[in-house]
Structure formats: C-alpha cells, structure tokens
C-alpha cells in the first residue's frame, strides 16, 4: 500500500490496544462512534453550508482534491430580492 500503513497497521493497532488496555480501547471506540454520529447528523439535519463542510472534511481526511465547481456562485442574493 503506497503511502499508507497497510492492513496490519490499520487492524493491528486497535487489536493491540484492546488486548493491553481494554478500557482505553472502549473509550476510543466510543469516541469514533461519537464522531461518526456527529458527522452524519450534521449532514442530515444541519444547514447546507454545514453539509458542505462535512464533505470537505471527509475529502481532507482521504487526502483528495476538491472537485471543480461547474456552477459559479452569484452575488445577486436569493431570487426575489433580499429577505427582510
């Protein structure tokens, strides 16, 4: 696996932690589940901007480039004029 740890490191490290420190392993597992829950809920129930940030975070974690935008944002505001 170029540039990565590989499957042994990916699965071996949590296994070693679980075998040597079960309480620490349980804490890390709960922290991972909490992070996943927060990201999913932010995407599903958050604003559009927050959903975009979640996907940007996931792209950043995977070390991928942002896709090019085919639609240019306009500065004219919402259709029908400004909200009051």
pLDDT of 69 reads 63
Kindly give the parts of the chain with pLDDT less than 70: 1-11, 67-84
pLDDT of 80 reads 56
Torsion of CA 52, 54, 60, 64, to 10 degrees: -60
Torsion of CA 74, 75, 78, 81, to 10 degrees: -130
pTM above 0.95, yes or no: no
Cα dist. 21→17, 24, 33, 57, 68 in Å?
5, 5, 19, 30, 45
Terminal alpha carbon distance of the chain: 55
pLDDT of 1 reads 46
pLDDT of 70 reads 59
């Amino acid at each position: 696996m170029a540039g990565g740890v590989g499957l042994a490191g990916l699965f071996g490290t949590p296994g070693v932690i679980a075998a040597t420190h079960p309480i620490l392993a349980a804490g890390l597992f709960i922290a991972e589940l909490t992070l996943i829950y927060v990201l999913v809920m932010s995407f599903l129930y958050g604003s559009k901007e927050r959903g975009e940030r979640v996907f940007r975070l996931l792209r950043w974690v995977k070390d991928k480039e942002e896709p090019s935008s085919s639609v240019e944002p306009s500065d004219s505001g919402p259709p029908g004029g400004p909200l009051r």
